Amino acid sequence: MLAPKTQGPLAGLVVIDLTRVLAGPYCTMTLGDLGARVVKVEMPGQGDDARHIGPFVEGADGEQTSGYFFSVNRNKESIALDLKLDRDKAVLEKLLDSADVLVENYSPGTMDRLGYGWDMLHARWPRLILASISGFGQTGPYRTLPAYDMVVQAMGGVLSLTGDAPNRPTRVGVSIGDIAAGMFGVIGIQAALLERARSHEGKHVDVAMLDSQVALLENALVRYQVDGVVPGPIGSRHPSITPFGVFRTGEGHIVLAAGNDRLFTRLLDILGLERLSTDPRFIDNAARCAHPDELRLEIELALAAKSTPEWLKIFTAAGVPCGPMNDVAAVMKDPQVRARHMLMELPVSNDRSLTIAGSPIKFQGEILGDAQPAPRLDQHRDALLTELGLL
């Protein structure tokens, strides 16, 4: 039997992780951040597909490590098992004897073909929770179709709302199609764990990437039904609040979010635009939402007088929500990001470290324990087999 970890809110839990690439690994990384012990089962030889996606870091020993894999697999142990071989299946089953949760992101039907469909799992390990994260879910007409991040961003409607113009499709710059599904997977698993404490039975959590995109649509469905107009991309504006977006300054850009009349009046005062406060085009949020371009022109003309850092100081002092547009380099230097321990430096090879994003789930007064870097393929085989009494 595997001993669970003893630190963190999910201490005591063992997760067996059959997932690849992003949605599943993001889910199990989050469980590991919270204290679960995560054992990643990978295909011998090649391992998780993400190990073959760049950028690659070469260590002094010549070993190549995928920075992509490294970013989303911290705090996991790796063992290589070929689930088509009886010998390796026996090892997986030993692992499942210790497990609270099994997470997989194969195409629906694959687990059945491997002999680990939900009915079999539930009969043999009634307390085990199975979480399946897939493109379209375990049910419905598209269930067996393949899906990747971009496919579900596009099919779920988020892409139709993002960008400058309808004919310039723009991807969300991070893989929100995968990550949202991974996060909803964590939510479903934890809910099933809470239920299990009462029922003493596991459940099958079924999270689809497409469903997860639809769940992010916020008020777009309702806007379409109420206004009768299909919402399209609107650049850097907010659909229902104005002014709320990115504006050009004398040098660079600034985000301004004057979400109510009080903040709008303050914004006008600061910009020397008091004359607009009684202008019927801008008299309330509804009027401003109907005239966003006219308002932008007035604001940007006024903002041209100073640079972004100067305006940030002024708006911050006045309590108007504002911020810089940080690129990744600026994020890594940001004093708040650093103060919140949102950057985590971990060794990627015998002579180099890389900084990755930390966990955003903080419990006040506690500092997370030391994190372990993403494992090499099969790194923990001997230790795991020994612990299971198989070596």
CB of 389 to a second copy, least distance (A): 27
Task: Rule CB under 8 A: say whether 125 interacts with a second copy.
Answer: no
CB 51 within 8 A of CB 25: no
What angle, rounded to 10 degrees, do the helices at 308-318 and 261-271 form? 130
- Considering beta carbons, is residue 93 or 366 the nearer one to a second copy? 366
Task: Rule CB under 8 A: say whether 211 interacts with a second copy.
Answer: yes
Mask: binding to a second copy, 127-146, rule CB under 8 A, as x and -? --------xxxxxxxx--xx
Strands 101-104 and 14-17: parallel
Q: Which of positions 232-261 make contact with a second copy (CB under 8 A)?
A: 232-238, 240-241, 244-246, 253, 255, 257, 259-260
Separation of alpha carbons 343 and 341, rounded Å: 5
What residues contact 85, with CB distance under 8 A and at least 6 apart? none
Task: Rule CB under 8 A: say whether 184 interacts with a second copy.
Answer: yes
CB of 145 to a second copy, least distance (A): 7
CB 179 within 8 A of CB 105: no
Task: Rule CB under 8 A: say whether 103 interacts with a second copy.
Answer: no
Q: Which stretch binds a second copy (CB under 8 A): 78-86, 184-192, 294-302, 380-388?
A: 184-192
CB of 352 to a second copy, least distance (A): 9
SS (H, E, C) 126-158: CCCEEEEEECCCCCCCCCCCCCCHHHHHHHCCC
Q: Which stretch binds a second copy (CB under 8 A): 81-89, 172-180, 269-277, 296-304?
A: 172-180
CB 200 within 8 A of CB 128: no
What angle, rounded to 10 degrees, do the helices at 292-303 and 261-271 form? 40
Considering only 151, 268, 303, 384, the residue that binds a second copy (CB under 8 A) is: 151
Q: Which of positions 39-58 make contact with a second copy (CB under 8 A)?
A: 49, 52-57
Task: Rule CB under 8 A: say whether 71 interacts with a second copy.
Answer: yes
Q: Which of positions 324-363 make contact with a second copy (CB under 8 A)?
A: 324-332, 334-337, 339-340, 342-343, 354-363
Alpha-carbon Rg for the chain, nearest whole angstrom, is: 25
Is the previous residue joined to 243 through a cis bond, with omega within 30 degrees of 0? yes
- Considering beta carbons, is residue 94 or 108 the nearer one to a second copy? 108
SS3 176: helix
CB 301 within 8 A of CB 288: no
CB of 347 to a second copy, least distance (A): 13
Is the previous residue joined to 239 through a cis bond, with omega within 30 degrees of 0? no
Task: Rule CB under 8 A: say whether 270 interacts with a second copy.
Answer: no
- Considering beta carbons, is residue 5 or 94 the nearer one to a second copy? 5
What residues contact 275, with CB distance under 8 A and at least 6 apart? none
- Considering beta carbons, is residue 16 or 192 the nearer one to a second copy? 192
SS3 315: helix
CB-hemisphere CA count at 13 Å for 214? 8
**Catalytic residue flag (residue 238):** yes
CB of 213 to a second copy, least distance (A): 9
Considering only 188, 292, 373, 375, the residue that binds a second copy (CB under 8 A) is: 188
**Which of 238, 253, 291, 380 is flagged as catalytic?**
238
Task: Rule CB under 8 A: say whether 216 interacts with a second copy.
Answer: yes
Task: Rule CB under 8 A: say whether 117 interacts with a second copy.
Answer: no
Separation of alpha carbons 91 and 213, rounded Å: 36
Mask: binding to a second copy, 311-330, rule CB under 8 A, as x and -? -----x--xxxxxxxxxxxx
Task: Rule CB under 8 A: say whether 207 interacts with a second copy.
Answer: yes
Catalytic annotation, residues:
238
